């Protein structure tokens, strides 16, 4: 995606691709961090503890108990350079080369790549038609004699699906992993991003959606400051793991000291300031409120052209996952230089990568191809990375592009 964006850098392009937010951290958090830079004796200039500062870890233990319902006495916190590094740390600390990690398809591509980089085997498991974990398929995979599965990993709410798991689903996943003696890894990066269009199918009070966590001696939870607090570039995430597991603790220390030594001190100061601002700051109308309106604009553009049955997710996180119109002739999406018409199915039909490139070239809007998540023929559409006016513009552009695809599909079907 970065290569394509550089190619079209001289054009008017709006992105609904990268999973980021359009705001920056609280001003008070930034000012606090700046004040540390002027102090010659400040700890931000030195190596800190491998596991993160005691002050930030203490505040996070309070947070996971208060907001996530995790037992403070049973769980410890380990701070990492973002949630992605937390996942890589676990891959290196818990598993051996050749071990399997279950990822539900469509999967988060960074988790897939982390498994590949650490010589683990990504074991792909199907989801239901609604992109929820297929528990029957998971049982079959875990019972397979050919699988050496050591963990099941999920993102909740989902990336790329935007699906929010229920308490019952999380508890079933936890029970299955406990029965098999394997780990359950839950990435909770999008814990603050919960949406609903109705009063049904919700876990919270008054029809509101509620993010759930599970815990146990086989469960590790991952969290992040990046999305809720706009700290993407500051790179602070953290692990919540069973306090009694000394082997895991030792492994995490070894990996952390080898890779990064410690989390950046200045970033940890910003994170402390974010915790002081709290979830109420995140929920402000200029932040979550604006994302809610972005979501509505993008959903309207998607469902009006693709139909509601082809637009999934959006009840959590910052994504919709959509099925593209099928059987679009690749030749119809080729530019004047013959580029962009890469086809699937022997080259006759346009692939999702081809469609994404065409959308950028012809309509100036960027989305992620589903093939990057193991699901060709789909796109992931993000709705938090632009302010409201630009997001409305991007949604309109995407709608026009999808409308043209539907038109091309109808023409192709008529000629078949």
Region 385-397: mean pLDDT is 98
Band (pLDDT 50/70/90 cuts) for residue 3 is confident
Q: Which of 278, 296, 324 marks a domain boundary?
A: 278
CA–CA distance, 158 with 216 (Å, rounded to integer): 21
Q: Do 302 and 317 share a domain, yes or no?
A: yes
**Domain endpoint, select from 278, 308, 329:** 278
How distant, in Å, are the alpha carbons of 48, 173, 174, 355, 407 from that of 230? 23, 30, 31, 30, 39
Helix (H) or strand (E) holding 103: strand 100-104
Tokens encoding 205: 């009070």
Q: Are residues 63 and 177 in the same domain?
A: yes
For 312, list phi and psi in degrees, rounded to 5.
-110, 160
- pLDDT over 90 at 347, yes or no: no
In the listed set 278, 310, 338, which residue is the last one of a domain according to the structure?
278
What's the pLDDT tens digit per position in 355-383?
999 999 999 999 999 999 999 999 999 99
- Using pLDDT thresholds of 50, 70 and 90, give the confidence band for residue 414: low
pLDDT at 144: 87
> In a 3-state reduction of DSSP, which class is residue 312?
strand
Our count of domains for the chain comes to 2
Q: 169 pLDDT exceeds 80?
A: yes
**Alpha carbon of 33 to those of 22, 57, 270: distances in Å?**
21, 17, 6
Question: Do 269 and 353 have their domain in common?
Answer: no
Amino acid 348: pLDDT: 83
93 pLDDT above the threshold of 60: yes
Q: Are the CB atoms for 301 and 399 separated by under 8 Å?
A: yes
Query: Are 176 and 136 a contacting pair, CB within 8 Å?
Result: no
The dihedral through the CA atoms of 381, 387, 390, 395 has a sign that is positive
Tell me whether strands 311-313 and 365-366 are parallel, antiparallel or unpaired: unpaired
Judge if 125 and 139 occupy the same domain. Answer: yes
Closest C-alpha among 222, 391, 213 to residue 318: 391
Residues 134 and 201 in one domain: yes
Same domain, 333 and 222: no
29 pLDDT tier (thresholds 50, 70, 90): very high
Query: With contact defined as beta carbons under 8 Å apart, do 343 and 349 qualify?
Result: yes
User: In the predicted model, is pLDDT for residue 198 greater than 70?
Assistant: no
Angle at 176 between CA 84 and CA 130, to 5 degrees: 70
* pLDDT > 80? residue 326: yes
Q: Which CATH number do you get for residue 193?
A: 3.40.640.10
CA angle 301, 187, 51 (to 5 degrees): 140
Range with lowest mean pLDDT among 69-73, 221-225, 337-341:
337-341
| Average pLDDT of the chain, as a whole number | 92
Model pLDDT for residues 145-161, shown as the tens digit of each residue: 677 999 999 999 999 99
When computed from its CA atoms, the radius of gyration of the chain, rounded to whole angstroms, is 22
Are both 221 and 363 inside the same structural domain?
no
| Domain of 386, in residue numbers | 2-19+284-415
User: According to the model, what pLDDT value does residue 196 have?
Assistant: 82
Q: Give the tens place of pLDDT for each residue, 241-257.
A: 999 999 999 999 999 99
Whether residue 243 is found in the same domain as residue 133: yes
Q: Enter the DSSP assignment of 234.
A: G
In degrees and rounded to multiples of 5, residue 387 shows phi and psi of -65, 170
Is 268:80 a contact under the CB 8 Å cutoff? no
Q: Are strands 219-224 and 237-242 parallel, antiparallel or unpaired?
A: antiparallel
83-94 vs 109-117: helix crossing angle, rounded to 10 = 40
pLDDT at 287 over 80: yes
**Are 258 and 358 contained in the same domain?**
no
In this predicted structure, the answer to whether residue 201 has a pLDDT above a threshold of 50 is no
Residue 205 has pLDDT above 70, yes or no: no
Q: What is the pTM of this model?
A: 0.94
Q: What is the average pLDDT across 311-325?
A: 97
Predicted pLDDT of residue 335: 66
Q: Is the pLDDT of residue 127 over 90?
A: yes
- Does 200 have pLDDT greater than 60? no
- For residues 158 and 313, the answer to whether their CB atoms sit within 8 Å is yes
Provide the CATH number for the domain around residue 350: 3.90.1150.10
Mark whether 240 and 374 lie in a shared domain: no
Q: How confident is the model at residue 202 (pLDDT cuts 50, 70, 90)?
A: very low
Residues 180 and 48 in one domain: yes
Residue 39 pLDDT class (50, 70, 90 cuts): confident
Backbone phi, psi, residue 33, to 5°: -65, -40
304 shares a domain with 242: no
């Amino acid at each position: 995606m970065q290569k394509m964006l550089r190619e079209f850098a001289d054009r008017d392009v709006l992105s609904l691709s990268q999973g980021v937010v359009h705001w920056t951290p609280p001003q008070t958090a930034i000012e606090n961090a700046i004040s540390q830079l002027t102090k010659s004796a400040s700890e931000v200039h030195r190596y800190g503890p491998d596991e993160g500062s005691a002050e930030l870890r203490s505040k996070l233990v309070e947070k996971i108990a208060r907001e996530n319902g995790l037992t403070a006495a049973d769980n410890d916190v380990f701070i990492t350079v973002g949630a992605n590094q937390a996942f890589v740390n676990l891959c290196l600390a818990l598993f051996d080369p050749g071990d399997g990690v279950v990822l539900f398809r469509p999967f988060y591509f960074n988790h897939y790549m982390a498994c590949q980089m650490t010589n683990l085997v990504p074991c792909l498991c199907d989801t239901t038609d609604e992109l929820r974990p297929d528990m029957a398929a998971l049982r079959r995979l875990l019972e397979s004699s050919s699988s050496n599965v050591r963990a099941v990993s999920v993102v909740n709410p989902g990336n790329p699906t935007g699906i929010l798991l229920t308490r019952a689903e999380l508890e079933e996943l936890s029970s299955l992993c406990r029965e098999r003696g394997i780990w359950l890894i839950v990435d909770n990066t999008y814990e603050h991003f919960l949406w609903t269009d109705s009063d049904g199918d919700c876990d919270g009070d008054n029809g509101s959606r509620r993010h759930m966590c599970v815990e146990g001696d086989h469960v590790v939870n991952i969290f992040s400051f990046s999305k809720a607090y706009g700290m993407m570039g500051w790179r602070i995430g953290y692990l919540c793991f069973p306090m009694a597991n000394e082997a895991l603790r030792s492994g995490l220390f070894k990996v952390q000291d080898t890779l990064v030594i410690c989390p950046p001190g200045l970033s940890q100061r910003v994170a402390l300031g974010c915790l002081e601002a709290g979830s109420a700051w995140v929920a402000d109308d200029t932040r979550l409120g604006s994302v809610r309106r972005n979501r509505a604009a993008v959903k309207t553009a998607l469902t009006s052209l693709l139909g509601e049955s082809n637009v999934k997710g959006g009840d959590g996180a910052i994504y919709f996952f959509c099925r593209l119109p099928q059987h679009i002739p690749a030749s119809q999406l080729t530019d004047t230089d013959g580029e962009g018409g890469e086809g699937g199915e022997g080259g006759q039909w346009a692939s999702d990568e081809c469609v994404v490139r065409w959308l950028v070239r012809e309509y100036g809007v960027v989305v992620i191809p589903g093939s990057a998540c193991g699901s060709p023929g789909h796109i992931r559409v993000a709705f938090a990375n632009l302010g409201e006016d630009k997001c409305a513009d991007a949604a309109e552009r995407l709608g026009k592009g999808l409308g043209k695809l539907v038109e091309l599909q109808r023409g192709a079907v008529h000629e078949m």
